């Protein structure tokens, strides 16, 4: 299990809990608006396993939860044994995923080592290769969301409302997935680093907070638990 970075304390990454966030390197997607480009292009650092363990041991009892984010956590071979060690320290555990590996999410659910999952639904299904890179298969993500919908585990679906998503696209997306217990629309922010070829997509005008709220209101018939 590789860890490339830690946010030591966060009030916003695990709903209702004070958590730290651990970032794993590597991703099987290449979203043009990725905010963690160093984690996906190999320019990241690796923290020593001992330094991560020391940190988690020191904060045990002070923080409620640990969020495993990335990058894409389900690509990490040692994920489940690592979660077991985190759980043994008394933490609640949230995993953020792009949803591309439903088999691993199923194993996570079975392990009982995860308390909350956040899964991204990034674009209308047919747009996935254009938004997330060739080979990105929305069918796998839809399987993950379906799995979570059938599980008692709390979860949320998240969409970053990139400039290319308007009312029509969000309506399609809201209909493509089952009604979620929590569906979060995140405001788009221009990433610090992006590929030169993506500049026009990255710099397209994104919606204002008021427009984002209007989009949330619009999709409420299909996603009644939408929030921004």
The residues that touch ligand SF4, with contacts defined as CB under 6 A, are 27, 29-31, 34, 36, 40, 70-72, 98, 132
Structure tokens at 68: 């495993």
d(C-alpha 215, C-alpha 131), whole Å? 20
Q: Which is nearer to ligand SF4, 34 or 68 (CB)?
A: 34
Q: What is the DSSP letter of 125?
A: G
Q: How far is the CB of 2 from ligand SF4 (least distance, A)?
A: 14
Q: Which is nearer to ligand SF4, 63 or 157 (CB)?
A: 157
Beta carbons of 139 and 148 less than 8 angstroms apart: no
Q: Which is nearer to ligand SF4, 13 or 72 (CB)?
A: 72
45: which residues sit within 8 A by CB, 6+ positions away? 4, 5
Q: How far is the CB of 154 from ligand SF4 (least distance, A)?
A: 21
Q: Which is nearer to ligand SF4, 72 or 156 (CB)?
A: 72
Beta carbons of 45 and 4 less than 8 angstroms apart: yes
Instruction: Say whether the peptide bond before residue 172 is cis (omega within 30 degrees of 0).
Output: no
Q: How far is the CB of 131 from ligand SF4 (least distance, A)?
A: 9
Chain CA centroid to CA 186, Å: 11
Q: How far is the CB of 14 from ligand SF4 (least distance, A)?
A: 18
């Amino acid at each position: 299990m590789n860890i490339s970075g830690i946010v030591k304390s966060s009030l916003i990454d695990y709903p209702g809990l004070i958590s730290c966030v651990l970032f794993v390197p590597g991703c099987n997607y290449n979203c043009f608006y990725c905010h963690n480009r160093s984690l996906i292009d190999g320019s990241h650092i690796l923290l020593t396993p001992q330094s991560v363990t020391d940190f988690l041991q020191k904060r045990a009892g002070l923080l409620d939860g640990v969020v495993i984010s990335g990058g894409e956590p389900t690509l990490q071979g040692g994920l489940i044994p690592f979660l077991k060690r985190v759980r043994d320290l008394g933490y609640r555990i949230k995993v953020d995923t792009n949803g591309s590996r439903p088999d691993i999410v199923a194993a996570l659910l079975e392990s009982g080592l995860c308390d909350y999952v956040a899964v991204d639904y990034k674009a209308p299904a047919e747009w996935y290769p254009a938004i997330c890179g060739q080979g990105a298969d929305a069918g796998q993500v839809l399987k993950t969301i379906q799995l979570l919908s059938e599980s008692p585990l709390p979860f949320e679906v998240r969409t970053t409302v990139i400039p290319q998503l308007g009312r029509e696209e969000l309506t399609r997306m809201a209909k493509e997935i089952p009604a979620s217990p929590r569906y979060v629309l995140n405001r788009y922010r221009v990433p610090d680093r992006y590929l030169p070829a993506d500049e026009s997509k990255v710099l397209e005008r994104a919606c204002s907070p008021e427009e984002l709220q209007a989009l949330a209101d619009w999709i409420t018939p299909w996603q009644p638990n939408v929030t921004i």
